[in-house]
Chain A
Amino acid sequence: MKFYRKIITLFALLLLAGTVKKPWEAAIGADLRHDKLLSEPLNLTTRESIGQTSSAVALGGLRSVVASFWNIRAYTSFEESNWVKLEDQYETIVALQPHTAYYWDTGSWHLAYNAAVSSRENENFPAPRREALHRTYINKGKAFLERGVKNMPGNWILLSSLGRLHGTASKYPDYEKSAAAYQQAWETGKARNFEARAWFYSLARCEGKDREALHLGRALFIADKNRVDTLCCLLFVLEMRQKNARPIEELVKLCFTSHADALRMLEVYKTNNAENLPITGVDHAIEWLKSVQNK
């Protein structure tokens, strides 16, 4: 057979085989996507931002490798305080590996904590601009983490980070969102006791959720491992806030192991209250405890 005729026949055979394999490949692809074993194709913006070489490597099925190296590059941007570049780099990293919680968490931490504080302290900008940048980066960090949670809904680490970010007093807090995130983290069944307590702390700071917070606090207090100083004090405060609150002596007995402990814990609770936890009645309780001690 002549060479060219052979090549044409070859292409015809390839096309014929192609019609057989195409639906087969489509079915396998659908199954793999269903099992989350295949990621969505890279979009054009991501390809442009990672450059030709990395794009070729990523196209060659090595997305995780490109993401790892971009993560190292992003660390250099962090050291140089180049926040615009860092933000772009994390956008690329999560586009390459959307199911790695570490990248979502780290990217959000860089934006909401490092970039925000660094911008606020950057004396090259006038004060109002610094404040605006500070707020912008905090909001970017929150939005980034929220996207991470949407991508990986059952991941307690991301939910916990989101709860912390929304619940930090210096980060323009939204305690309802914080409580919801901590609650979801706790309900995954994988989180630490801390997430349950943090849910209580955030709930106690939500407007009009005193009753709900009190019920949660009482439930948590039953377990010995939850009886940390902050939880005992906050539960005491919420009990004190009730309309028909029990006498102070009874509440101290209920929430603390001794009068001395109660006095020490409440004093620390009041002075170290950077997170704006409710302190209704704390002064009164401290005075009462001091008077009892002096007797």
Chain B
Amino acid sequence: MTSQNSKTSNRWLQPRRVTVIAMHTFTQLVRMKVFYFLSVFALIVIAANFLDLPQFNGPEAIGVGELQMLKSTCMGVMKLFAVVFVIAATALLLPKDVEDRTLYTILAKPVPRLDYLVGKIAGVLLLVFVSLLLMDLLMTVVLSFRTNHLLVDQLSWAEARGWTQEAIDSERRDIIAQGPTWSFQGAVFAIFLQSAIIGAVALLLSTFSTSTLFTIILSFLIYLIGHFQADAADYYKATAEAGSNAFTTTMTKLLSLIFPNFQLFNVIDAVIEGIPMTMNAIISLTGLSLFYVVLYTMLSWFVFSDKEF
């Protein structure tokens, strides 16, 4: 009976055990005062709200541009925060557990190393998710306020000039499309998905790296390579046809096989321009992110499984 209990408790990916590790990681990161960043974000959002664009062509040309400016500034800050935070936090986790000797205590118990790694990455992702949610909430409130303000201003302006009902309705639709839409929420979710992948990459690197700084720098490099590799592949494909050397072409192909294509997550630019994000796009990106997170976590486990401390 005891042996059976022991076998059950040693089974991989026990939800309760993973949740305990994830919540511990979450608390550990919260204690690092990361949420202080939110006050900085609030200031940026409020400042961006007062940003005015040069007006030359009547208010109808300006309103949508102002909303786009507000969205692009805030989304940029959100993305920057999510990426910097997920890389730094993940790179710090394992060295900090070794330094605090928490890792020895955990691994001395019947905790499979896979559960430990999954719990750690889940804790980081939970914190990024909560942070993005709070920033999204703040952003949505400010954007709603600005959108409503513009709607009142521009529609009364349009009515005063005797626009047709169709023109007024179209103006209303154009302004609302730039406000807090579901596509906008989808774009924030895409930021989270991208962060999850780069977090999993950082986890993999930290399992064999001996320096936190090295992990952080390499993770950022991979983040940039991930954005650049699709362009590079296109470029070398074109030059290969014109007779460029085979070595660079092969290297680019290898890079594109090894590193994730982060350009696919650049849908936020289109959403800022007011193009609606389809459910199909969200599902595809979620599936791809899940694939990467599982792949890099499993590879982390492969490296970490017999690592000696």
Q: Which A residues form the contact surface with B (CB < 8 A)?
A: 1, 3, 6-7, 9-11, 13-15, 17-19, 21-22, 24-25, 28-29, 31-32, 35-39, 41-42, 56, 59-65, 67-68, 71, 75, 78, 97, 99-102, 105-106, 109, 156-157, 161, 189-193, 225
Contact = CB atoms under 8 A, between A and B. Distances in A.
A61 B208 contact: no
Given A10-B303, A38-B266, A106 B167 contact: no
A191 B83 CA distance: 42
Given A15-B254, A36-B270, A191-B167, A64 B288 contact: no
Given A29-B264, A38-B270, A21 B167 contact: no
Contacts of A99: 270, 273, 275
A29 B194 CA distance: 15
Contacts of B212: none
B277 interface: yes
B111 interface: no
Given A28-B288, A192-B163, A225-B164, A61 B262 contact: yes
A68 B112 CA distance: 49
Contact of B54 (A60, A63, A75, A193): A75
B228 interface: yes
A64 B274 CA distance: 12
B49 interface: no
A45 to B, nearest CB: 13
A28 B164 contact: no
Given A18-B258, A65-B76, 4 more contacts: A21-B260, A29-B261, A109-B57, A193-B167
Interface residues of B, number: 71
A37 B279 CA distance: 12
Interface string B161-187: 111101100110010000000000000
23 contacts: A6-B208, A6-B303, A14-B257, A24-B291, A25-B264, A31-B281, A36-B275, A42-B231, A56-B224, A60-B79, A60-B227, A64-B75, A65-B75, A97-B269, A102-B65, A105-B61, A106-B65, A109-B56, A157-B60, A190-B166, A190-B167, A190-B174, A191-B167
B264 A38 contact: yes
Q: Chain A: interface secondary structure?
A: helix
B4 interface: no
Contact of B267 (A38, A41, A102): A38
A62 B80 contact: yes
A30 to B, nearest CB: 11
Interface of B: 53-54, 56-57, 60-62, 64-65, 68-69, 71-73, 75-76, 79-80, 83, 158, 161-164, 166-167, 170-171, 174, 194, 208, 223-224, 227-228, 230-231, 234, 254, 256-258, 260-273, 275, 277-278, 280-281, 284-285, 288, 291-292, 295, 299, 302-303, 306
A32 B303 contact: no
Contacts of A156: 170
A19 B257 CA distance: 6
Contact of A225 (B60, B162, B256, B264): B162
Contacts of B258: 11, 14-15, 18
7 closest A-B pairs by beta carbon, nearest first, are A18-B257, A65-B76, A102-B65, A64-B72, A190-B170, A41-B231, A61-B266
